[in-house]
Structure 1
C-alpha cells in the first residue's frame, strides 16, 4: 500500500474538484524557509549558521558537515528536519570553536553562511516555516479552481490539519502499524513488520521479502545492505539477547518513538475524517470539546480549556476572532479527553482499535507517551497563489511548526 491508497481513507473538507498536478518535480519547486525562535541568537557559546541545502535530508547533511569539520554530529543543533527533495533554508548551531572549520566546509548542494553567535539549537526551536511551492502539470482552470477551494475552506475555517504522508512513510506505509503492534505488546510482530515489509523495487527489498517469509535472522544479516543500519542493529541485538523487545529498545530513542508518534498521528487523522463524515464542525466548538489558545495565528497546544454549556458562546466568539481553535486527540495516558459528542467520537476510535489510554503507559518507559491536543484546522498565513505560464500554480504561505504543507496541497490538488 502506497501513501495515496493510505490517505484515500481520510475525507476531504472541501467539496470542489481539485487541480491535480505534481509537486517536487524539481527541488526548486518546493522551497522552505525556516523562521526560528529569536532566542537562538542569544548567548555566545555556539556559532549559528544558515544552512541552505538541495536534495539533502537534514540529518545526512548534518553528519556530512560534522565529518568535514571534524566535530561530532551531536554537537550540531537544529530545530527541525526539512524535506529532502526540496531547497530548504534552516539554522544550525555548532560549537564556537568550530566556526572557522565549518566556514571552510565545501559540499555539493550545501551552502553555509555564518549569521551570529547564539545558543545550541534544539528540536522545536522554531516558530514555523515559509513555503513557495510550484504545482506542475495543471491546466488553465487551475487558478479558478484554487480560488474556489480556498474560498470554500476559508468559510469552513481553514484546511484540515492532517499529518502528512511523511509521518507514515512514503514508500512503505508501515510506521503506524508498527506503533500499534508495540502498543499491543507484540514486539515480535512489530519487528517482523519493521524488518520484512517491502515493495519489491528498491535495494534490500528482496532480502526483506525473504525475512518476511522465513524469519531467518542469520540470513538477513548476510543479505541486508549496510545502509539499513537500524535494521541490522536490531538483528544483531536480537542475536545477542534472544528478545525482540530488547532489540527494539536498542534502537536510538528518536527512532523508537517514531512508531508511536506515527500511530498517534493516524488516530488523529482518523478523528478529523470521522468528524467531517459525521457533519461535526471543525471551526465551531461543541459542548465537550477541548480548544487551544491562539496568539498571532500561532496555536499554543499546551494552553487548553474545556467547552461547557455556560461558555460555549464565549468560546465560539474567540474562535471567530482567531483567538482559539477546536482541538483533536493525540492519544496518550495523560491526554485531556473531550466529553459530549466529541468525547464519544474519541472513545469510539480507541475502542475500534481495541485500545485504551492506559495502553500508552504500559509501553517500556522510553516509549511511554502522555499524549496531548492538536488543532483540527490549518490556517495558512499570507496565502497567495497565481498561475505561472510554463510552470504551473505557484503558492506561497506560512505555517506554524508541526503543520504539513502537503496537507494544504492535498485539498487543492485532490491527488490522494
Structure 2
C-alpha cells in the first residue's frame, strides 16, 4: 500500500528561500566550489564549561566524518550498552563535513567501555573525561569553522576589503538553509501539521517542523530590517537589546551615546522575535514591523501559539571572531572564523562568496 504524499497547504504570502534573502553589503564578490570533499568544511565545538573530572557520565570529544549526530549517538549507545536516552549532546552537526563534537554517556557504576572500538565505525575519540551531568542541547560557547573554497573566481581585492567590514560589523544573523530541510520540507510538513493533515510523526520530528517555521519567520523579519539598510545592526526606539553572551534583553526607550557605543562594540545587539504565545515585547515602529510579519503569515503564528511555544528573542546581528582568509595556490583559499552557538557559517559565507556544491545525499 502506498503512502499518500504530504499535501502542501498554502500560506498567505510565499516565503523567501535562503538564497533570496537580502545582503547587508551589496552581495558577494567571489564565486567558488564548496564541499567537494568532507574536509572542505570543518567544525570544532567549543564547550561552555570544562569537564568535572568525576561523576556517573562519560564526556567524550569525538571526531566524525560524513556522519550525522544521531547516528553517532546510537553507535556510542550500542558500544556502552545503554539506551539512546542515556546519550547527551550539545548540538547537531552537519553530516557532510569533518566535525569534532562532545557527547555524554550515563554509565552509573558500569566500567568504562573500550571507546577506541568506535574507530571501527569511523569515530575517533579525542578526549574522554568523567562528568556529573548529562550534556544538554545548547551547552556550547560556540563553534570554530575552517571552510575551503575551491576554484575561486572574482575580485579578491574587493573581497579583502569586505572581510575587514565583516570582522568589524558582523553580518545578519539568518538561520541557515539546513534548518529547513531539503526543498524546505520542514516548512511544508509544518504547514500540513497546522492544517491537521500531517502524517504521524514523533515529537522530535514535530519539534523540527515548528523550529523551522519560527526560523523562517525570524529570517523574514530580519530581511525586512536589512532592506532598511542599517536597521539590522542599529537600535531603534521600541527595540529589545540583547546582552552579548546572554539571552537577557531589555526594552529601549531612549538611545544615548552609551547605548550607541555598546552597540558598536558588539556588547549589545538588536533582536528579532521567535514567534510564540504571549504579548508583543517591542513597541513603536519595531512592533509595527514585527506585527506586519505576523499578519503576512497568520496561520503559522497561530500554529506556533497552539503548539504552546512561548515568545523568545534572537540577536539580529552575528558577530564574527578570529576571521582569517588564507590563499592556497592560485585558485583556493581557506576561510576561518568562530561563531557563537546557534548561528550559521553560511550566513557569513554568503556575504563573501556565492558557491556551488555537489549533490549531497
TM-score by length of 2: 0.86
The 1:102–1:356 alpha-carbon spacing in structure 2 relative to 1, beyond 3 Å, is: closer
Residue range with higher mean Cα deviation, 11-20 or 79-88: 11-20
Indicate the SS of the match to 2:58. Answer: strand
Candidates 125, 138, 152, aligned match of 1:138:
152
Deviation for aligned residue 1:145: 3.4
Q: Which has the higher helix share?
A: 1
Superposed CA deviations along residues 325-344 of structure 1, whole A, max 9, x for unmatched, are 11111111137522222211
Aligned position for 2:206: 256
Checking the alignment, whether the CA contact within 8 Å between 1:332 and 1:369 is kept in structure 2 is: yes
Candidates 228, 252, 255, aligned match of 1:307:
252
Q: Which stretches in structure 2 are left out of the alignment for 5+ residues?
A: 1-15, 357-361
Indicate the SS of the match to 1:13. Answer: coil
Q: Which has the higher strand share?
A: 2
Deviation for aligned residue 1:154: 4.8
Residue range with higher mean Cα deviation, 114-123 or 254-263: 114-123
2:49 matches 1:109 = no
The 1:101–1:179 alpha-carbon spacing in structure 2 relative to 1, beyond 3 Å, is: same
Look at both structures and tell me which one has the larger radius of gyration over its CA atoms: 1
2:281 and 2:229 map into 1 onto residues whose CA distance is 20
1:376 and 1:121 map into 2 onto residues whose CA distance is 27
Indicate the SS of the match to 1:131. Answer: strand
RMSD: 2.3
Aligned position for 1:72: 83
Candidates 183, 187, 193, aligned match of 2:196:
187
The 1:8–1:405 alpha-carbon spacing in structure 2 relative to 1, beyond 3 Å, is: closer
Deviation for aligned residue 1:83: 0.9
Deviation for aligned residue 1:373: 0.7
The 1:70–1:281 alpha-carbon spacing in structure 2 relative to 1, beyond 3 Å, is: same
Checking the alignment, whether the CA contact within 8 Å between 1:143 and 1:393 is kept in structure 2 is: no
The 1:70–1:346 alpha-carbon spacing in structure 2 relative to 1, beyond 3 Å, is: same
Aligned position for 2:37: 26
What are the within-5 Å matches in structure 2 for residues 3-402 of structure 1? Answer: 6-41=17-52, 43-96=54-107, 97=110, 99-118=112-131, 119-139=133-153, 141=154, 143-154=156-167, 157-169=169-181, 171-182=182-193, 185-188=194-197, 191=198, 234=199, 247=200, 251-294=201-244, 298=245, 300-301=246-247, 303-309=248-254, 311-334=255-278, 336-355=280-299, 359-363=303-307, 368-389=308-329, 392-402=332-342
Q: Which stretches in structure 1 are left out of the alignment for 5+ residues?
A: 192-233, 235-246
Deviation for aligned residue 1:121: 1.1
The 1:359–1:64 alpha-carbon spacing in structure 2 relative to 1, beyond 3 Å, is: closer
The 1:387–1:39 alpha-carbon spacing in structure 2 relative to 1, beyond 3 Å, is: closer
Indicate the SS of the match to 1:281. Answer: helix
- The count of corresponding residues between Structure 1 and Structure 2 is 338
The 1:178–1:24 alpha-carbon spacing in structure 2 relative to 1, beyond 3 Å, is: same
The 1:54–1:312 alpha-carbon spacing in structure 2 relative to 1, beyond 3 Å, is: same
Indicate the SS of the match to 1:172. Answer: helix
